[in-house]
Structure 1
Amino acid sequence: MADQGQGDVVAPSREDPVAAALSGSVGGASGEHARGHRWWTPLRVVLAVTAVVFALGMLQKVPCYQDTWNNGETRYSKMCYSDMPYLYTGRGFVEKLWPYTDDAETNARFRVMEYPVGISYFAWGVSWVTHWVAGSPDIEDRPGTPLDQLRGEAQVQKEIRTYVAVSAVFLGIFTLIAAWFLVGVNPRRPWDALLFAAAPVLLFNALINWDLLAVTFVAGALWAWARDRPILTGVMIGLGTAAKLYPLFLLGGILVICIRRRQWMPMAWATFAAITAWLLANAPAYLTGPEAWKVFWSFNSDRGADLGSLWLALDRGGLELSNGFINNFSWAFFIAWCLGVLALGLIAPKTPRFTQLGFLIVAGFLLVNKVYSPQYVLWLLPLAVLAVPRWRDQIIWQAGELFYFASVWWYLGGHLRATDGGTPVYWAAIVLRMAVELYLVVIVVRDILRPEEDLVEREEPVPWRRTEPAEVGGKPAPGA
C-alpha cells in the first residue's frame, strides 16, 4: 500500500492490523522512514480506487442492462435492480416532461415524482442528455401512445439503457467529488477516505437510485466545516436536504459543537445558509407546480411500513400497527435519540467530532424509519468511515449490509420464502443489519466518552504492533 510515512500524515498500515495485512499485496506496510510516492499521493490513490469501484458497480448491473430491466427474475436473482429505468418511463422523462407541473392530463398519464427536488432536477436533466445521446428521437407521437406499448418500443428500450448509463456517468463524477472532499477533511488522515473509496456497499448500492447526490453534499459539508466555513457548510447541508431529507440532521451535530464551544454565530450562519440554499433550490419546483411539489411530503407521511424497516418485520410477524402510530412513535423515538446525542455531546470529556455526531443522528433516524432501502447505507458511509476509521469495524458493518443486500433481492424474487409462507432469512437480515449498525453506534459512543480510544483524536498514532528490536539472550539482535 502506498502509505505516506513522513510528516504528519498517518499511515493506516502502521496503526491498523487489517490495513497492514491487506497492504501485503501492494508492497507491504509503511516503514518508519518510508516516503510517499511522488505521484501516487493519497488523493490520487483514493480517486483511482473510487473510479475502479464505481466502474465495477456499473458492471454489476450488466445482467439487467442487457435485457433493459425487463426480466423480473434477473433483476432479483442477479441483484442488479435499479429504480432508474422504471422512473424514466413512469415519470414522464421518456417525453422530456418537467417533473413539476399541475397539468391534469400529464398527471393522469404519469405519476408525480415522489422524490425531493434535487433528485427530480437531476433525473430530468439526465433525460435531456439521454435524448441527445440517443439521437434526439422524435417524441411528438409519444403522448398518444399507451405507456405499456411505449415501453416496448425498440427506440425507448435503447433510451432506457442510455438513461441508466448517462446517470451512472454523472453519479460517478459526483462520487469522485465526494471522495475528494473526504480526503481533505483531516489533512493528517487522508487515507481514511480510502474506506469510502473501496467500500463494497458503494460498489453494490451506488446505482440503485440517485442517493449519491445527497452523499456528495454531506461530504462537502464535512469538508467545509473542517475548514471553519460555516456558511459553505450550511449551503452544502441545504443543497443536500434538497436532494434527501437526512442532511438536515447534520445541523444537530453543529448545535452540539457550538454549545460546547459557546460559539453561536457559526450555528446561526450555517442554519441561515442551509435554509436559504434549500429555499432557492425548491423555488423552481414550487413556483411551477406547487401541488406536485407537495407530493414528496404527503407520500412519505402516508406510506406504511416498507422494505428494510423494523416496522415491516413487526407487521409481517403479526403485530398490526397503524400508519399513524408508526409515524408518531418514529418521530418520538428520533427526538429522544437526538436529545440523547445532545446529552452525550455535553458530558463528553472533549468536544465530539462533527462526523461522530452526524453519524449518531443519522443512524438513529434510519433505525426507526418506515423504510430502509438498501441504498440508504450510502447515507451513513461518509460519516461512518470518518467517525470510525478502523478497517475491522468497517468490515463488520459492511458485511452485515451486504448480507441484507442479497437477502432483500432474493426475498423480492421469492427465493427466500419458506414452505409455510414465512421469510425468516429476510427478517433475520433486517435484524442483523440493525445490529451491525448499532455496533458502530456503540463504538462511536465509546470513542466520544473515552477520547483516548479514538484513532483520530490521538496526537500520535499508536502502532498496532511492537516496533522495538528483537533481543537475543537479553541483548539486541545483530543488525536490529
Structure 2
Amino acid sequence: MSAPTPATDRTDLPAASDGFIRGLSQAIGGPVGEHAVPPLSRRGRFWTAQRIILALVCLTLAASWVQKSPCQDGDWQKNVQYTRFCYTDVLALYYAEGLNEGKVPYRDHPVEYPVVTGYFMGALGLPVHALGDRFPEINQGRWFYNANALVLSILAVASAAVLLALRRRRPWDAAIFALSPILLVTATVNWDLLAIALAMFGLYAWARRQPLIAGLLLGLGGAAKLWPLFILGPLFVLALRSQRMRAFLYATGTAVLAWLATNLPVAVLYPTSWSRFFELNDTRPIDWGTLWYIGRYLDGKWNTGAGDKGPFQWLSDNIPALNNLSYALTILACAGIGILCLLAPRRPRLAQLVFLVVAAFLIFSKVWSQQYVLWLLPLVVLARPRWGAIIPWTVAEIGYFAAFYAELLGAGGKPVIPEGTFVLASSLRLITLVVLCTLVIREIWRPELDVVRHTYPDDPDGGVFAGAPDAWWITTLRKTFIADPREPSPSENRPPAAPTPVG
C-alpha cells in the first residue's frame, strides 16, 4: 500500500487535486501551475474564495425562491404545485396545522414534526396570523412562506459558512453545496435546513474542542429532526478508538439534556400532541421511492398469480414487521460501520462515518421524502469532496425529483409517466447513493486515496480526536481479524506537539 500524500499548508486547488475538475480545466488551458499564485489568494482582493462561495449560495437560494414563486400565493389551481415543481410543505402546513387560524402548535393542534420544528413554525406563523388579522388584505400564506424562506436561507448560508470554516485550506469544496441543484429545488420544501444548520454548528463546535456546546447543538438538532442525534454514534466509536471517552460523554449528556429540555414541556402538558410524530412514524405505510417501494413494485411484476404475495408486498401489509426489519437493517449497517472504524488502518474521519450512518438510515427507511437529500449534501462535502461521483448522484436526485412530481400528478387519476419510469428513477437515486457510500468506505480502508488527508495531517473535524494515538488494543484487533495488517507509521499514532488547527 502506497504512503499517503503528505499534508500541505497550501490552499487546495480543485483543478489540481480533483480529476473531474482537472479535465474540465483543459478547456481554459489546464490547471494552475505549481508555483503560480492564484489571483484570489493575493492580498487586497475583495473576491476571496470564501466570499465567492457565499455569494454563490445566495444566488442559488434566490433562484430557489424564484422557482417556488408560482406557489407562493397558495392558489394551487389545476395542480400548479406539481406542474411547476413548486410544491412546499411550508405553505401547505400553514393551513393544515391551523396556523392561519392562530392555533398554537401542540396546545391547539397536534403537529407531525418534532418540537423544535413545531416551535419554529409557531414563532413565524403566529405573528403572520396576527398581522393578517390587522391587515386583512394581505395574503397570509405568502407572508408565511416568505418569512420561512428568508430564515431558512440564512440558515443555509450559515451552513455554507461552517463548511468554509471547517475546510479553510479547501474552500472550493463548499462550492459543491453552493452550486447544487439539490439545494435549489429542495431548500424550502420543508424545514430541514433548521436541523441541518444545528447539526453543522454542532460539528463545528466539536472540531473546536467544545463538546458541551456540540452536544447542546446536536440535541437541539435532534429535537428538530431526529437525524442529528445519529452523529453521536460515530463520535462513540471514534472516542473508543482514540480513548477520548470523556469528551464523548460530555457531548452525549448535553445532547440528552437539550433534547429533554425542549421536549418535556410539550410531552407533559400536551402528551397526545407530542406523541403524534412518533405515532405517524410507527403507522406510516411504505413511502414513494424507497427500497421497499421498489421491492413492492417488483413483487407485483414477478408474482402474477391470484393471492400470490411477494415478501415486499407482505411487508407492505404488515407495517409492524416492516418497522422492525427497517430498524434491524439500519442497526446492522451502523454496526458494520463501527467495525469498519475499528479495523481501518487509520482512524476514519468523523464526517466519513456520519455520512455513512445517515445514508444507511435513508437507504433502509420506509420513508424517504424528497427533501431528505438535503441531509446528505453538506455531509458529502465534508466526507468526500470529489465532483466526479457527486454529479451523477445529483443528476439521479434531480431525475427522481421530476419523476416524483409526475407521480403526484398521476395520483389524480391520469398517469403522466409509466410506473416503471418512476421506479427506475427511484432505483437510480438509491444506486448512486450506494456508490457514494462504497467510495467513502474505500477511502476509509485506503486512506491514501482521501483527498482531505492530502491537505490536513489529521481529521480537521476531529476535535479531541485529532492527533490522538489509537488505543493499544486496535493493533491487536486488526492482527486478529486482518491478515498482515499495515502497521500505522509513527506519525499516524503520535499526537502533534500542538493541537491541529480547525482550518
Q: TM-score range by the shorter chain?
A: 0.7 to 0.9
Return the offset for 1:115.
0.4
Q: Secondary structure at the match of 2:288?
A: coil
Matches of 1:448 and 1:265, distance apart in 2: 25
Aligned partner letter, 2:37? A
Alpha-carbon shift at residue 278 of structure 1 (Å): 1.0
CA deviations 1:434-471 (Å, max 9, x no partner) are 0000010001000000001100112489xxxxxxxxxx
How do residues 428-467 of structure 1 correspond to structure 2 at under 5 angstroms?
Answer: 428-459=424-455
Contact 1:253 1:358 in 2 (8 A): yes
- Mapped partners of 2:59, 2:132: distance in 1: 26
Question: In structure 2, how many angstroms separate the alpha carbons of the residues matched to 1:431 and 1:455?
Answer: 29
Give how far 1:260 is off.
1.2
CA distance in 1, matches of 2:130, 2:23: 48
Residues 69 and 85 of structure 1 are in contact (CA less than 8 Å); yes or no, is this contact kept in structure 2? no
Deviations 1:80-129 (A, max 9, x none): 1111122111111012221111xxxx55xxxx210011111111111134
Q: Distance in 2 between matches of 1:420 and 1:165?
A: 31
The alpha-carbon deviation at position 422 of structure 1 amounts to 5.6
The whole-number CA distance in structure 1 between the counterparts of 2:417 and 2:383 is 41
Q: Is the 8 A contact 1:305 1:312 kept in 2?
A: yes
Q: Does 1:85 align with 2:66?
A: no
1:371 CA drift (Å): 0.8
355, 366, 380: which one aligns with 2:351: 355
Query: Retained in 1: the 8 A contact 2:407–2:415?
Result: no
Letter in 2 for 1:435: I
Once the two structures are TM-superposed, the CA of residue 285 in structure 1 deviates from its matched residue by 2.3
1:8 offset after TM fit, Å?
2.8
**Can you list the C-alpha shifts for 1:231-275, whole angstroms capped at 9, x where unaligned?**
222112101101101111111110121111011101101101111
Provide the rounded CA distance (Å) in 2 between the counterparts of 1:14 and 1:441. Answer: 24
Please give the per-residue CA displacement for 1:315-341, whole angstroms capped at 9, x wherever unaligned. 344323210111010010011001100
Question: Aligned-pair distance for 1:131?
Answer: 3.5
Task: Give, in whole Å, the separation in 2 of the partners of 1:356 and 1:171.
Answer: 26
Question: Which residue does the alignment assign to 1:272?
Answer: 253
Unmatched segments (≥5 aa) in structure 1: 1-5, 139-153, 462-480
Could you tell me which residue of structure 2 aligns to residue 124 of structure 1? 122
Per-residue deviation at 1:52? 0.6
Could you tell me the TM-score, scaled by structure 1's length? 0.84
**What is the one-letter code of the residue matched to 1:121?**
Y
Quick check: 1:337–1:364 contact (8 Å CA) kept in 2?
yes
Q: Distance in 2 between matches of 1:415 and 1:95?
A: 29
- Counterpart residue identity of residue 88, structure 2: S
The offset of 1:393, in angstroms, is: 1.3
Bigger relative contact order, structure 1 or 2, given CA contacts below 8 A and separation 6+? Answer: 2
Distance 2:131 2:389 in 1: 43
In structure 1, which of residues 316, 335, 345 is the aligned counterpart of residue 341 of structure 2? 345
| d(CA) in 1 for partners of 2:455, 2:105 | 51
Residue correspondence of structure 1 range 3-402 to structure 2 within 5 A: 8-20=10-22, 29-31=31-33, 32-35=35-38, 36-37=41-42, 38-65=45-72, 68-101=74-107, 106-107=108-109, 112-131=110-129, 134=132, 136-137=134-135, 158-316=139-297, 317-318=299-300, 319-321=313-315, 322-402=318-398
Residue 290 of structure 1 and its aligned partner are, at CA, apart by 1.9
For residues 421 and 28 of structure 1, what CA distance do their matches in structure 2 show? 43
Note the alpha carbon deviations across 1:282-324, whole angstroms, 9 max, x for none.
2332243122111111111111111221222333443232101
Gaps of 5+ in 2: 1-7, 301-312, 458-503
In the superposition, relative to structure 1, how do residues 421 and 207 fare at CA in structure 2: closer, same or farther (>3 Å)? closer
Q: C-alpha distance in 1, partners of 2:446/2:413? A: 45
Over the aligned positions, Cα root-mean-square deviation in angstroms equals 2.5
Instruction: After superposing the two structures, state which structure 1 stretch, 366-375 or 411-420, moved more.
Output: 411-420
Question: Alpha-carbon deviations, 1:57-83, whole Å to 9, x = none?
Answer: 1111122225x2512522112211111
Give the distance between the partners of 2:421 and 2:258, measured in 1 at CA.
43
After TM superposition, the score normalised by the length of structure 2 is: 0.80
Q: 1:69 to 1:366 in 2, by over 3 A?
A: farther
Pair 1:54–1:22, CA change in 2 (3 A): farther
Equivalent pairs, count: 430
* Aligned residue number for residue 474 of structure 1: none
2-side partners of 1:381 and 1:203: how far apart? 12
Q: Cα offset for 1:132?
A: 5.6
**CA distance in structure 2 between the aligned counterparts of 1:159 and 1:26, rounded to whole angstroms:** 50
After TM superposition, give the deviation of residue 41 of structure 1 in Å.
Answer: 2.4
Does the 8 Å contact 1:119/1:210 carry over to 2? Answer: yes
- The whole-number CA distance in structure 2 between the counterparts of 1:93 and 1:21 is 52
- Does structure 1 conserve the Cα–Cα contact (< 8 Å) formed by 2:407 and 2:416? no
| Letter matched to residue 59 of structure 1 | V
Seen in structure 2, the aligned counterparts of structure 1 residues 78 and 381 have a Cα distance that, compared at 3 Å, is same
For residue 193 of structure 1, report the CA deviation from its aligned partner.
1.6
Code of the aligned partner of 1:131:
H
Distance 1:413 1:95 in 2: 29
Structure 1 partner of 2:463: none
Structure 1 residue 25 displacement after superposition: 9.3
Closer, same or farther: CA 287–8 of 1 in aligned 2, 3 Å: farther
1:413-432 mapped onto 2 (5 Å cutoff): 413-414=409-410, 423-432=419-428
Which is worse superposed, 221-230 or 114-123?
Answer: 221-230
Contact 2:97 2:111 survives alignment (8 Å): yes
Deviation of 1:433 after TM superposition, in Å, equals 0.6
